[in-house]
Structure 1
Amino acid sequence: MIEIVRIPALSDNYIWLAHEPDSGETVVIDPAESEPVLAAAAERGWTITQIWNTHWHPDHVGGNAAIKAATGCTITGPAAEQDRIATLDDMVRDGDSVALGALRAEVIDVPAHTSGHIAYHLAEASVVFVGDTLFAMGCGRLFEGTPEQMFANMQRLSALPGETKVYCAHEYTQSNGRYALVAEPDNVEIKQRMVEVDAMRARGEATVPTTIALERATNPFMRARTAAELAERRAAKDSFRG
């Protein structure tokens, strides 16, 4: 139904390349840079037809212009941040949908990391692209929003089916997990997960995608019971040096 390729970029970014075989359409999610994306698509014989941006930060849109120049693709991103993403063709907001071949992705507003941050949920494929809102055992910093907004984001994403694969944009799992062990020291599932994460990173392996079910069990921000508790945990994580 859909093929998804992880493309490492910059120091710890992941760019996602998603291909729908029946239509031949290929979308790039949050291209930090262009060269590795164009190379990965060419290697597979895929034609890039779209870019989906989750938010305006340069490490998520830095490759937009060059990829568009090389492929003529259409760029979709948050309507609330259209003034900050110069390359956008189509602006979307909560409840809108975008197509990848026969697949539809629902747009979900998830502000807090940035004021207009969005996610793309492909329900048929059990996939969600979350940018910098939800990480494996973590959440994005509150650069432009509030704990209440991030708490609402966590609740909304937690309500997705447990098998939904979560594609975030950074390899932060190990550092997030070290804080999670402090936030919930009696959580056996976090301890078990960190054994696996440490082993994977020692082998140079990526730790994402994750799943909604795994985050429900081990993510201290998704597990926060109130916005106040999330705020406390986010502040603690911001200064955590473990």
Structure 2
Amino acid sequence: MTIEIRQFPCLSDNYGFLVRDKACGAVATIDTPDAEEINRQLEAAGWRLTHILNTHHHPDHAGGNLALKEKWNCEIIGPREEAARIPGIDRKVGDGDIVRLGDSAAKVYDTPGHTLGHIIFHFADDGAAFVGDTIFAMGCGRLFEGTPEQMWLSLNKIADLPPETELYCAHEYTQANAAFALSVDPQNTALKKRMEEVKKLRSQNTPTVPTTLARELETNPFLRAEDPSLQNAIDLSGADAVSVFAKTRALKDAF
């Protein structure tokens, strides 16, 4: 492992992530949901913030940019397609770009759907992907700006990562997501088992993030649009994957 990750809850249901390169001590915050809490975490760890890596423009992801930049004079790196909406952005990145954090490196993937310019950061050498609001444990982001086709393609980019990849989702939505997932994939034994695990974790106020891609491939209905059992459950047997995904997302919106 070339990085260490400090995860902490903030706001009502967000997670903050600080990523530190072990070799040189460079530190990035993945998004800026709560500048005050990020500063508390930096102080507790004895770390100095050098970078902000924004996944998208929503206020609970970029709202602390300017306060943190003023305090730390850090570099703000964010999605090229949303540059005009990323406060204080210094460097614009997109699909295939490499972001270096000291000796560590993250590959950028465009994952439009939740927003049109959403990106994720994949630290391949460390098996960690910071996925913002594109994918959640047993869920995916609401389509505020993009289309079902865009989001399906974005989720497939994530699905193509190594199965052991840890997915650092930005919100603790897992228990509610699991309840919906069971409503559209009721025969999924892995999902039933996962629901019981999640109930136990949340009863102890233990985070369910990160999750792993392997676990999501088994239990996340938004990655399973090509699965016949899910198609049957939502009365779209044999339909194309985008149509199945779109209906699943619509059902979740109304759940």
1:145 maps to what in 2?
Answer: 146
In the TM superposition, structure 1's runs of 4+ consecutive aligned residues that sit over 2 Å from their partners are none
SS in 2 for 1:23: coil
Unaligned runs of 5+ in 1: none
Amino acid at match of 1:61: A
| Cα distance in structure 2, aligned partners of 1:22 and 1:183 | 46
Shift of 1:65: 0.8
Q: Cα distance, 1:62 vs. partner?
A: 1.1
Gaps of 5+ in 2: 227-240
SS in 1 for 2:178: helix
1:238 partnered with 2:238: no
1:26-45 equivalence runs, <5 A: 26-45=27-46
- Alignment of 1:169 with 2:170, yes or no, is yes
Could you say which residue in structure 2 is the equivalent of 1:221? 222
Coordinate RMSD, CA, aligned: 0.7
1:120 correspondence with 2:135:
no
Cα distance between partner residues in 2 of 1:176 and 1:233 = 12
Map 1:99-138 → 2, pairs under 5 A: 99-138=100-139
Percent of residue pairs bearing the same amino acid type: 50
Determine the structure 2 residue equivalent to 1:71.
Answer: 72
2-structure distance, mates of 1:104, 1:5: 17
Which digits, 9 at most, give the CA deviation of each residue in 1:112-143, with x for residues without a partner?
A: 10000000011101010010001000000011
Q: C-alpha displacement at 1:28, in angstroms?
A: 0.1
SS of alignment partner, residue 27 of structure 2: strand
CA distance in 2, matches of 1:22, 1:86: 29
Please state how far the C-alpha of 1:86 moved relative to its aligned partner.
2.5
Distance, in Å, in 2 between the alignment partners of 1:36 and 1:106 is 27
Q: Which residue of 1 aligns with 2:236?
A: none
Q: Determine if contact 1:33/1:64 at 8 Å carries over to the other structure.
A: no
8 A Cα contact 1:136 1:172, kept in partner: yes
TM-score normalised by the chain length of structure 2: 0.93
Shift of 1:30: 1.0
* 1:159 corresponding residue in structure 2: 160
Q: How many residue pairs are counted as aligned between the two chains?
A: 240
What's the CA shift string for 1:28-84, capped at 9, x where partnerless? 001111111111111111111000000000000111111111111000000100111
Match in the other structure for 2:82: 81
Name which of structure 1's ranges 171-180 and 39-48 shifts more when overlaid on structure 2: 39-48
The question of 1:192 aligning with 2:207 is answered no
Q: How far, CA to CA, are the matches of 1:231 and 1:112 in structure 2?
A: 12
TM-score by length of 1: 0.98
